[in-house]
Chain A
Amino acid sequence: MNTITNWKSELAPYAKMKILIVDDEPANVALLEDMLGEQGYTQLKSTTDSRRVLELCDEFDPDLILLDLFMPHVDGFAVLESLRADQSEVYLPIIVLTADVNEETKRRALHRGATDFLNKPLDHIEVLLRIRNLLETRRIHQLLDNRRAALEDAVHARTAELQAVQAELEKSRARSTAE
């Protein structure tokens, strides 16, 4: 446990990132919430009803989703498909939780847009690492996005500056001919 505490400072940049947990088994949800809470994550939301995922995504705007595969009503595969149908998100990592290590299952999940896996029973350290790695990737994606937007703004600003100079030169030219 001590090790986890030592890790808190390393996780600090991600502590405010939002994680959505989707698992029909309340015990699993509680376990994950405990693990993540202990690791320093402060923005967690969970549901045991997979039908609410889209609505929760809109509301909560998660940075990462932990998704169980086998659930009643709407299973993980269908959730993946509907989440990936929305293309507006830059890079939203989805980690699929699975007790079934069957390769075919993994392929199906990947095919529908899973980013990575975590095998059940969940291993503390694997949970910690895999989440941190994907949150970091998302963070860089966002930085890159912001940079690009900022660069565009800068180009606009620079154009405006040059136009201001030009306009000013025009004005002084007009003034000198008027005098």
Chain B
Amino acid sequence: MKETEQLHGAASRFSEMKILIIDDELSNVALLEDLLSGSGYTNVKSILDPRLTLETCKEFAPDVVLLDLRMPHMDGFAVLEALRANDRGAFLPVIVLTADIDAQSKYRALRAGATDFLLKPLDHLEVLLRMGLFMERRRIEYELHNEKEKAEAASAAKDRFLAMASHELRTPLTPVLIWASGTAQEPDLSPNLQDGLKMICRNVELEARMIDDMLDLTRITRGKLGLYRRPADAHELIGHAIDIVRSDIEARHLNLRLALDASEHKLRVDSARLQQVFWNLLRNACKFTPEQGTIAIRSFNDGPEKICIEISDNGVGLEPQSLEKIFNAFEQVDSRKEGLGLGLAISKAITEMHGGTIRARSEGLGKGTTFAVTLAVENESIERDHLTEGTDAEKSEPNRNES
């Protein structure tokens, strides 16, 4: 009797599951109801008139349907078709009960969407077995659904937390920076105090930059980084990025070589974001190149529609296996250097949002690194086509400040 216990055990685990019986014969219905309720299925509903099927399904939301094939008014095939037309993707097992076993009707039921068959006269063991199997399937589908929701909720919570935390961390820094940099300009400060204030500025700026990167990253993962595309000049953007790192370059006695040879360098991009990309690459080039080293920036047209900007250094270089990984968030070859490992992840996302590509190449450790950014150039005719789009971009601008 252990097997029946197993079947009953299955039933009690799933007793909250709902079974709908559709059969015009009262005696059949009574038999099935007895069998199921006697085995622990408490949530059983029956209808004798198949025309009530859709209505009942809507109210009762069954987990399994047991359907007779031969009924007046509306036969089982029609009920099946109606059920299948009604369920949108969600799987509802429909087990067809049938006395006639001719292949023709079986094919018809199969085509109409039957999930399985039970032959009349019903074998009790088989009814319970089949019920148990579909209940088990229902249960794991349900668990899978829950699991998906859990994962989504967890990652949404993480993004929300990062965004919020970054905001909270960022806001108090602004007044500190303004006051410290203002005060450091005062002429009659003691050198000691002046150095102290400069140290404060440097560290606060560093902190602010890291927080900005974290904010950007959460915007990117939440799909909330809006682009504000306008006509721009690639060479100008590079120039602005150089201006920001110039003091670093000088402090580390690096040589900067420029060969901006591209003749087509008009872009239609979010200037601030793209400048951020070049600035990230330059910052890295400075950071990973020893003093007296060289940074070279060149541009050229790769065909009339593409511009390629390469930023090379002769610094620490990269091993082949790192060349792709470094574009992942928080990925660093050597985490002792300053930074969170976000710059390249953000740069890659921004470049790709512009339809461009970014790649790293290196001959190996100690042999320097080159980062190549490729973007579409904007020639006159395309620019005109995009004029209307520009106003769209303006409208979507508020998006940009959202986090």
Query: Which A residues form the contact surface with B (CB < 8 A)?
Result: 3, 6-7, 101, 103, 106-108, 110-111, 115-117, 123-126, 128-130, 133-134, 136-137, 140-141, 143-144, 147-148, 150-151, 154-155, 158, 160-161, 164-165, 167-168, 171-172, 175-176, 179
Contact = CB atoms under 8 A, between A and B. Distances in A.
B147 A147 contact: yes
A140 B151 contact: no
Given A3-B107, A103-B123, A111 B144 contact: no
Interface stretch (B29-37, B112-120, B252-260): B112-120
Contacts of B339: 168
Interface of B: 2-4, 6-7, 93, 101, 103, 106-107, 110-111, 114-117, 123, 125-126, 129-130, 133, 136-137, 140-141, 143-144, 147-148, 150-151, 154-155, 158, 199, 202-203, 206-207, 210, 214, 329-330, 335-336, 338-341
A3 B113 CA distance: 12
Given A111-B3, A126-B117, A154 B330 contact: no
A108 B6 CA distance: 12
Q: Is the interface of B mostly helix, strand, loop or mixed?
A: helix
Contact of B103 (A125, A136, A167): A125
6 contacts: A107-B4, A108-B3, A116-B129, A117-B129, A125-B117, A168-B340
A154 B154 CA distance: 9
Contacts, number: 109
Given A129-B116, A167-B335, A172-B338, A140 B203 contact: no
Nearest to A158: B158
Contact of A168 (B126, B148, B203, B210): B210
A5 to B, nearest CB: 12
A127 to B, nearest CB: 12
B338 A164 contact: no
A17 to B, nearest CB: 16
Contacts of A101: 123
A154 B151 contact: yes
A175 to B, nearest CB: 7
B3 A110 contact: yes
A155 B101 CA distance: 53
Contacts of B140: 137, 140-141, 144
B125 A125 contact: no
Given A103-B125, A116-B129, A144 B143 contact: yes
Contacts of B126: 106, 117
Given A108-B3, A171-B338, 7 more contacts: A101-B123, A129-B115, A147-B148, A150-B151, A154-B151, A164-B335, A172-B207
Contacts of B103: 123-125
A155 B150 CA distance: 12
Contact of A176 (B150, B154, B199): B199
Interface centre among A108, A130, A165, A175 (most CB of B within 10 A): A165
